[in-house]
Amino acid sequence: MELKVLDLFCGMGGFSLGFAMEGFIVIGVDKSRNVAKTYLYNLKKYNEKNEFIKKDLNKEIIKTDAPIIIGSPPCKPWSPLNTRRKGASHQDYICINAYFNHILANKPLIFIFENVPQIENDPILKKNLQKISQDYDYVIRNIRYSDYGAPTKRKRLFIFAFRKDLGLNLQEFLKELDEIGQKMPKKLVKDVIGHLVDVPEGKIKDHEWHKINFEKYGEKIKKKLYGCERIKWDDFFPSKGNLQKVLTLHPLLDRSLSIKENLLLMGFPNSYEFPEGLSKWGRYQMIADAVSPTFSNVIAKALKKVLK
């Protein structure tokens, strides 16, 4: 049986991708035209039934019969990399309400929420969790992607919720999640981008990089100011924002990481590509905002086991 998954604030589709790899039908929703192109360009490779809906989720509720809703509302109001407008003063703050309004309107069997760990104690999250607590059993977990087979040690908050009348055991799912994660091979930086060291810029799709003015930024990189640093070859990839903003050097070469390398370090498969016509900045930003598909695939595998 093909199960449908609705992905709210889907971005480039990292969250959806892990489910698509396991045969789920995914429907992504976002308001960006560039996101739509990228999502469909890649997710249609897995199943022609995979869809994209271009909507502003703050203005409209998407009605669905999908038994699973996933999503990662914009994290900028809580992100430590955002040093300007924070919390309720940020325009994206209300996206949390939009996500949970979709849960209340559709009452899916399962929902999964992703964001930065800093959101956990925000009143807006607590208020929305109170609204759904009568109908759902849920758990909040801070997940480090590298513990589940991804090359990045980015840490993210996930909420896993099962509807109480479903008859499924949430703890059984969490046990499956961790068991699958423990079996995943550990991948370091060198394991996923080592083959690109001698590949010239532009030789393969998306292998292009932001040019760094070393005369201007050399001292910041040397002192690791504002997150600027050279990543380590024999380590996991550190959690970074847009690599065009946070100057991150290749472990061996005097250049920034390419878009392709960034994709691989976030756990995207080698087959994932951006369509033509997207700016370099836009592609870097989409990757920075993405859920690692390596981890979402572990989630999908665990769900398949408990839903049998």
Token pair of 282, please?
């836009």
Angle at 48 between CA 289 and CA 69, to 5 degrees: 45
Active site residue 95: no
Q: Which of 10, 75, 95, 228 is catalytic?
A: 75
From residue 28, alpha-carbon distances to 45, 222, 275 in Å are: 15, 41, 17
Amino acid (1-letter code) at residue 71: G
From residue 304, alpha-carbon distances to 14, 138, 283 in Å are: 18, 18, 31
Token pair of 67, please?
């038994």
Residue 279 makes CB contacts below 8 A (sequence gap 6+) with none
Would you list the DSSP string of 49-99? T-EEEE--TTT-PPP---SEEEE----TTT-TT--SS-GGGSTTTTHHHHH
Catalytic residues: 75
